[in-house]
Amino acid sequence: MPQRPVIPQRPAIPQRTALPVVDDLVSSPLVHRPGDLFAAPGLTNFLGVVQADNDLIGIRSLTFPPFGSLGTTVTARAFLGDKLLAAFGAPVTFVWRPDRITRTAMVDGLEITTTTVLAPGRMGVVVNIEVANPGSDDRELPLRLAVEGSVTQAMRPWGGSEPPGEDDNVITVDGSAPRLVFSARSSDAVSVQGVDDPDARTTARGVETTVRVAAGGRWRVGYIHAVGATSDEAMSVYDALATDVPAVIDAAERMWNDELAAIFTPGNEHFGGSLPWLETDNEALRRLYTMGALGVVYFRRDSSYSVMGRTYDTLMPRYWQSVTFLWDYNLSSIVHALLDPQVMRRHLEHWIATDVHTHFGTEWLTGSPVGNWYAVNDFAMTRMIRDYVAWSGDTTWLTAPVAGGDGTKTVADYVHDYATAWRSLRSDHGLADYGDIDNLLECVSTYIHSVASLNAANVFTLRTAAAMDAALGESTRSSGYAAEADQLAAAINDLYVEGSGYYNARYPDGSLVPVRHCYDFFTIPFGMLDDLSAQRRQEMTDYFVRELQTPTWMHALSPYDDDALFSVRPDHQWNGAYPAWPSEAAAALYRMGHGDVAAGWFAGLARSTNQGPLGQAHFVETAVEPDAGGARKSPNEWPWINDWTCSSTGSWVSLVIEAIFGVRVGFDGTVEATPQLAEVDPSARLRGLVIRGQRYDVDATGLHAEQD
Indicate if 601 and 517 belong to the same structural domain.
yes
Q: Strand 124-132 relative to strand 110-118: parallel, antiparallel, unpaired?
A: antiparallel
- Spatial neighbors of 486 by CB under 8 A, at least 6 apart, are 531
pLDDT, one tens digit per residue, over 460-489 is: 999 999 999 999 999 999 999 999 999 999
- Same domain? For 396 and 513 the reply is yes
User: Per-residue pLDDT for 5 more than 70?
Assistant: no
Contact assessment for residue 235 and residue 227, using Cβ atoms and an 8 Å cutoff: no
CATH number of the domain that residue 56 is part of: 2.70.98.10
Report d(CA 494, CA 457) in Å as an integer: 16
Same domain, 290 and 231: no
Q: Where does residue 659 rank: exposed (0-12), middle (13-18), buried (19+ CB within 10 A)?
A: buried
Q: How far apart are CA 674 and CA 663, in angstroms?
A: 7
**Is residue 383 in a domain?**
yes
Q: Are 206 and 194 in contact (CB under 8 A)?
A: no
Per residue, the 3-state secondary structure of 201-248, as one string, reads EEECCEEEEEEEECCCCEEEEEEEEEEECCHHHHHHHHHHHHCCHHHH
pLDDT category at 164 given cuts 50, 70, 90 is: very high
- pLDDT for res 390: 97
Listed residues 193, 214, 243: the one ending a domain: 243
| 325-337 pLDDT tens trace | 999 999 999 999 9
Cα torsion 446, 331, 346, 378: sign: positive
- Helix 452-471, helix 377-392: angle, nearest 10: 40
400: CATH: 1.50.10.10
C-alpha–C-alpha distance, residues 444 and 682, integer Å = 40
Residues 324 and 190 in one domain: no
In a domain, 248, yes or no: no
Task: Say whether 479 sits in a helix, a strand or coil.
Answer: helix
For position 204, what pLDDT does the model report?
A: 84
The per-residue pLDDT for range 437-454, each reduced to its tens digit, is 999 999 999 999 999 999
Tell me how far apart the alpha carbons of residues 525 and 501 are, in angstroms, rounded to a whole number: 12
On average, the pLDDT of the chain sits at 95
Q: What's the pLDDT at 707?
A: 78
Residue 10 in this model has a pLDDT that exceeds 90: no
pLDDT above 90 covers a percentage of the chain that reads 95
Residue 324: helix, strand or coil by DSSP?
Answer: strand
Q: Is residue 75 part of a domain?
A: yes
In a domain, 346, yes or no: yes
**Half-sphere exposure for 212 (CA within 13 Å, toward CB):** 5
Based on the fold, state whether residues 461 and 593 are members of the same structural domain: yes
* Nearest CA-CA partner of 43 in 52, 31, 53: 52
* 575 is a domain residue: yes
Structurally, the chain folds into a number of domains equal to 2
Q: Is the pTM of this model over 0.75?
A: yes
pLDDT of residue 15: 60
Same domain flag for 394 and 528: yes
Do both 225 and 305 map to the same domain?
Answer: no
Instruction: Show which of 192, 213, 243 is a domain's final residue.
Output: 243
Helices (H) and strands (E) in the chain, counts: 16, 37
Residue 4 counted as domain residue: no
**Residue 72 within a domain:** yes
Same domain assignment for residues 171 and 289:
no
Q: Is residue 67 a contact partner of residue 123, using CB atoms and an 8 Å limit?
A: yes
CA 138 to CA 662: how far, in whole Å? 64
Q: How confident is the model at residue 407 (pLDDT cuts 50, 70, 90)?
A: confident
Q: Between 411-420 and 377-392, two packed helices, what is the crossing angle to 10 degrees?
A: 140
393: pLDDT confidence band, cut at 50, 70 and 90?
very high
Cis peptide leading into residue 317 (ω within 30°): yes
| 331 Cβ neighbours under 8 A, 6+ residues apart | 580, 584, 648, 650, 651, 654
**Cα torsion for 286, 291, 294, 295, to the nearest 10°?**
-150
Asked if 288 and 234 sit in the same domain, the reply is no
pLDDT digits (tens, 9 = 90+) for 69-94: 998 899 999 999 999 999 999 999 99
Neighbours of 510 (CB within 10 A): 10
How does pLDDT run across 335-357, given as a tens digit for each residue? Answer: 999 999 999 999 999 999 999 99
Separation of alpha carbons 694 and 691, rounded Å = 5
Among candidate residues 192, 211, 243, the one where a domain is terminated: 243
Residue 12 domain flag: no
Residues 219, 288, single domain; the answer is: no
Hey, how many other C-beta atoms are within 10 angstroms of the C-beta on 678?
11
Same domain as 609, residue 529: yes
Q: Is the pLDDT reported for residue 379 higher than 60?
A: yes
* Phi–psi pair at 391, nearest 5 degrees: -80, -35
Give the three-class secondary structure for 475. helix
Domain range enclosing 59: 46-154+164-243
Sign of the alpha-carbon dihedral angle for 619, 621, 624, 629: positive
Which of 219, 159, 229 lies closest to 195, judged by CA? 219
Instruction: Please report, for residues 45, 49, 70, 299, 317, the alpha-carbon distance to residue 62 in angstroms, rounded to integers and kept in the order given.
Output: 11, 6, 9, 15, 8
**Are residue 276 and residue 237 in the same domain, yes or no?**
no
Residue range 306-315, pLDDT digits in tens: 999 999 999 9
Dist CA 155 CA 174 (whole Å): 28
**Model confidence pLDDT, tens digit, residues 22-44:** 999 999 999 999 999 999 999 99
